[in-house]
């Protein structure tokens, strides 16, 4: 019975971690755009967005990442036999990439808290989709528990990536057209 509670907590913290990751990059986009606004708007927007990013990052996202890791290892301790299966190695590799993504978001967060960043809002929109791709890979691997599914999953991820890039470019064109 304890296993189900631990697994439920692991899933809950995965959800809150991803919510934080998705929203923090959205705030990064708004922060990058705020630096391009006229001075009066910038004076209001930048401090407010910095405060929102700070609260989201340190009150929700970081704690969720840490608790996901703790409960993940705990769940794995109940299913240690999975470590002999290829799908688990692949899943953990994607989880590792997700933590690298999180750490790089920390760098972007720190840069934006100090001032304008080298990241444009378009680059940040693309960066935001990396978490989506990792989410798809991790969920499909853990649910299907099959390496052949990884092959199909990679094909699907590349297709999803292509569709997202087309969507981002289309959105940019629509946005530019509406601004003119």
Residues 18-68: tens digit of each pLDDT: 999 999 999 999 999 999 999 999 999 999 999 999 999 999 999 999 999
Q: Is the pLDDT of residue 157 over 90?
A: no
**How many angstroms from the chain centroid is the CA of residue 66?**
14
Query: How far is 117 from 110, CA to CA, in rounded Å?
Result: 10
Residues 86-126: tens digit of each pLDDT: 778 888 999 999 999 999 999 999 999 998 889 999 899 98
- Average pLDDT for the chain: 90
Q: What is the DSSP letter of 58?
A: I
Does the annotation place 91 within a ligand binding site? yes
Query: How far is 130 from 61, CA to CA, in rounded Å?
Result: 16
**How many angstroms from the chain centroid is the CA of residue 168?**
17
Does the annotation place 10 within a ligand binding site? yes
Q: How confident is the model at residue 150 (pLDDT cuts 50, 70, 90)?
A: low
Tally of domains in the chain: 1
Q: Is the pLDDT of residue 130 over 80?
A: yes
Query: What pLDDT does residue 22 have?
Result: 97
pTM score: 0.83
Query: What pLDDT does residue 67 have?
Result: 98
Instruction: Print the domain residue range for 40.
Output: 2-179
Query: How far is 106 from 100, CA to CA, in rounded Å?
Result: 10
């Amino acid at each position: 019975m304890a296993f189900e509670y631990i697994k439920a907590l692991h899933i809950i913290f995965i959800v809150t971690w991803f919510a934080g990751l998705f929203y923090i990059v959205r705030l990064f986009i708004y922060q990058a755009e705020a630096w391009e606004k006229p001075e009066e708007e910038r004076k209001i927007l930048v401090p407010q967005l910095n405060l929102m990013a700070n609260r989201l990052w340190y009150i929700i996202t970081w704690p969720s990442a840490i608790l996901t890791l703790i409960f993940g290892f705990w769940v794995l301790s109940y299913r240690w036999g999975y470590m002999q299966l290829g799908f688990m190695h692949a899943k953990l590799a994607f989880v590792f990439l997700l933590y690298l993504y999180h750490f790089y978001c920390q760098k972007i967060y720190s840069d934006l808290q100090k001032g304008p960043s080298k990241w444009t809002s378009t680059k940040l929109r693309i960066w935001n989709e990396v978490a989506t791709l990792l989410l798809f890979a991790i969920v499909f691997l853990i649910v299907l528990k099959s390496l052949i599914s990884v092959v199909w999953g990679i094909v699907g991820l590349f297709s999803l990536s292509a569709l997202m890039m087309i969507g981002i470019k289309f959105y940019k064109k629509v946005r530019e057209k509406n601004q003119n």
